[in-house]
Structure 1
Amino acid sequence: MLADLAALVNVESPSLVLDQIERSASTLASIIERHLGGECELVASPAGPHVHWQGGGDPKVLLLGHHDTVFPMGTLATRPFDVTDGVATGPGVFDMLGGIVQALHGLAKVDDTSGVELLFSADEEVGSIHSRDLIEERAQACGNVLVLEPSADGGGLKTGRKGCGTFEVVISGRAAHAGLEPENGVNALIEMAHQVAAISHFGDASVGTTVTPTVATAGTTDNVVPAEARIKVDVRVETADEKARVEAAMAGLAVVDPSASIEVFGHIGRPPMPESASATLFPLAELVSPGIAGFAVGGGSDGNFTAALGVPTLDGLGAVGGGAHADTEHVVVATMPERAALIANLVAAITA
């Protein structure tokens, strides 16, 4: 498993760096074919190839993941793949190359994989824009989805996820000399302050909704009235009703200064994954791995899409470790055989 993990990590695969995504897809396909036989299909897309493998029989379960990572080219030079004191480190080991490797080794121990499909997309980390249709099509065809995203704390599975999205609010004002004639300007920064205050009230902790302004920019230099300001807003919701409410609230933002103007872009692109989505699959996981825990979490994955279609979905079946998207990303090596066995036993139970 560590050799396969090293092979994947050592092909850096930042989202949308197409030549690297192509190398990653080719490397991943060769590993899949070595373990499971058959032939992978590399599904071309503007984001690079998605890797698709089919067992050849009546499909019953889709194992879903992604081979793109968030780390820029060159990360490997400063943080190469390494295993020290039972911990594997390197860009992408936890999210989510370790989960892919565990799944392949687990499936290699399953007697009959004819009902299994694998799909590893090229653009999950940037919104799955070019893979969503394919993911939804194969999820509906298979009828069950196991998502190989990293585990929750302590190796728990993810039985629910919030829907999530990013908005950008663009405020247009009018530039003027800040010292000589500020009254002739329309200060987009001041208008932005009003909008941030309004947006901060859109969340509702009682139903798990968070609406968080995260990035703000305004102005060009210190002696010019700012003519433009921009706000990025992160949104997380647990229900479809809250998705609709927040999207309407963001679309309804209105300027305080009538001389300014406002535009709102974005939406909640990943619908919520309700805990009901895992109602049939989590009990199977408990059966094959007694004592395993399940948690609803705030982050989104491609499992949000499949769950929204009504396809039974269980998430967090990947690596145990931590530090996703950070320099501290790591996988606890001793847990890798256990997670491989979990996948093998769960797939066998689903396809029996």
Structure 2
Amino acid sequence: MSQILDYLKSQQEAMITLLEQWVNQDSPTNHKPSTDLMGQMMVQAFVEAGATLAAVHPQPDLGNHYTITYGQGDGQILVLCHFDTVWPLGEAERRPFTIEDGRAKGPGVHDMKAGVLIGLFALKAIQQLGLTPRHKLIFLLTSDEEIGSPTSRQLIEAAGRQSRYCLVLEGAHNRSVLTTSRKGVGRFQLEVRGISAHAGVEPQKGASAIEELAHQIQALHAMTDFARGVTVNVGVVSGGERSNVVAARAVAEIDLRVATGADGEEISRKILGLQPHLSGCQLHITGGLNRAPFEETPAGLALFAKAQAIAQNLGFTVEKFSSGGGSDGNFVAALGTPTLDGLGSLGGGAHALTEYTVLEALPLRAALLAELIMQL
């Protein structure tokens, strides 16, 4: 057994104790005081493990971001983590950290507080065992991933351009996998402007924005092509004011997922180019791709093959996985930097009340990350 894995197995109880503290601290993306406190707790743990807080990136409305460094080396490895969650303020009090059948549960336990924990303890193993990575480590802890990383994207891309490799600590969902590709993600808003009229007296003088939107929804969903990995989903709709008024306005929020950059460009053009079906209605469409597809590359697959061999030597297996969800890894992969995702916790139920992480896998996943860092 590797000395790294030996050390991390001895730290499992400490890992669980710290994870409980983190999960019991709310960190909803849109509540800066709570998210800042969560970030400060994590930064303190990294500094106590021998890392350096290189920069605080203040944000006026969302949580601050943090750059943490370790070692020197002739290049750098970027390790991406986020500490915001989708859960509202007070969720940790309503649903605190619990353990059941070897699984830890609680808001954000898998997505991705256990992932940050794995990064921390991989670093602790390297530091405590006196190991020297070949490359400088850059841990970028961000607070806005769950809403598309609007304030951290520039930081992520700048660090990605300077890095030889990027390792992303999002979780492995439900089985022992590492993520080698992710779909690109687009967000659009379609606003329909119609003409209001009395629905009983003179409806013929109106143009229903809701009826127009119904036609557009059908056109949008018809763009889905499962064989190509393209999905278009209208997930939120609103419109109208009263049942006896022909609706003058209706709005739809649209989610686009694509497997390739070419499909992203094609489907985005189609969405932005939609035309009205009904006379008297106008369309106003905004949005685009937020995250380009994270496509498989030879360099990325070589990184996976190295991790797969390490896992085998540690006594477990990992397979490669293509995810329909985006992550901050999409930003770096799109720059051409070899990127491997899904190095966080083994668990499932992200964004759901069933969210969990498998506790016995925490030392194994941390050992995999530490060994990979040492071999790069």
Category of TM-score, reference length = shorter chain: over 0.9
Provide the residue aligned with 1:338 in structure 2.
364
Of 141-150 and 53-62, deviating more is 53-62
Provide the residue aligned with 1:42 in structure 2.
56
Are 1:82 and 2:102 matched, yes or no? no
Q: C-alpha distance in 2, partners of 1:324/1:294?
A: 19
CA drift of 1:117 comes to 1.1
**Distance change in 2, residues 1:37/1:303 (3 Å):** closer
What do the CA deviations read for 1:198-223 (whole angstroms, capped 9, x no partner)? 11222222321111222222212211
Are 1:112 and 2:126 matched, yes or no? no
Unaligned runs of 5+ in 2: 1-14
Provide the residue aligned with 1:283 in structure 2.
305
**Distance change in 2, residues 1:233/1:39 (3 Å):** closer
Are 1:91 and 2:107 matched, yes or no? yes
CA drift of 1:333 comes to 0.6
Provide the residue aligned with 1:321 in structure 2.
347
Work out which of the residue numbers 20, 34, 50 in structure 1 matches 2:34. Answer: 20
Provide the residue aligned with 1:261 in structure 2.
282
Corresponding letter in the other structure for 2:182: R
**Distance change in 2, residues 1:334/1:55 (3 Å):** same
**Distance change in 2, residues 1:260/1:118 (3 Å):** same
Unaligned runs of 5+ in 1: none
Corresponding letter in the other structure for 1:139: G
Q: Determine if contact 1:255/1:262 at 8 Å carries over to the other structure.
A: yes
SS at match of 2:49: helix
Q: C-alpha distance in 2, partners of 1:23/1:140?
A: 29
Q: C-alpha distance in 2, partners of 1:286/1:243?
A: 30
Provide the residue aligned with 1:158 in structure 2.
179
> Within 5 Å, which residues of 2 pair with 1:1-352?
1-46=15-60, 47-58=62-73, 59-110=75-126, 111-113=131-133, 115-276=136-297, 278-290=300-312, 291-350=317-376
What do the CA deviations read for 1:250-309 (whole angstroms, capped 9, x no partner)? 111110123111111111110000111622210110121123111111100000000000
Q: C-alpha distance in 1, partners of 2:17/2:44?
A: 13
What do the CA deviations read for 1:43-98 (whole angstroms, capped 9, x no partner)? 11242211211114134311101011110101112211112321111110000000
TM-score (norm 2): 0.90
Q: How many aligned residue pairs are there?
A: 350
Corresponding letter in the other structure for 2:263: E
Corresponding letter in the other structure for 1:299: G
Q: C-alpha distance in 1, partners of 2:53/2:185?
A: 35
What do the CA deviations read for 1:311-346 (whole angstroms, capped 9, x no partner)? 000000011111100111111111111111111111
SS at match of 1:53: strand
Q: C-alpha distance in 2, partners of 1:2/1:41?
A: 28
Corresponding letter in the other structure for 1:345: E
Q: C-alpha distance in 1, partners of 2:214/2:51?
A: 58
Q: Determine if contact 1:29/1:40 at 8 Å carries over to the other structure.
A: no
**Distance change in 2, residues 1:245/1:37 (3 Å):** closer
Corresponding letter in the other structure for 1:8: W
Q: Determine if contact 2:348/2:355 at 8 Å carries over to the other structure.
A: yes
Corresponding letter in the other structure for 2:293: P
CA drift of 1:37 comes to 3.7
Corresponding letter in the other structure for 1:57: Q
CA drift of 1:40 comes to 4.9
SS at match of 2:162: helix
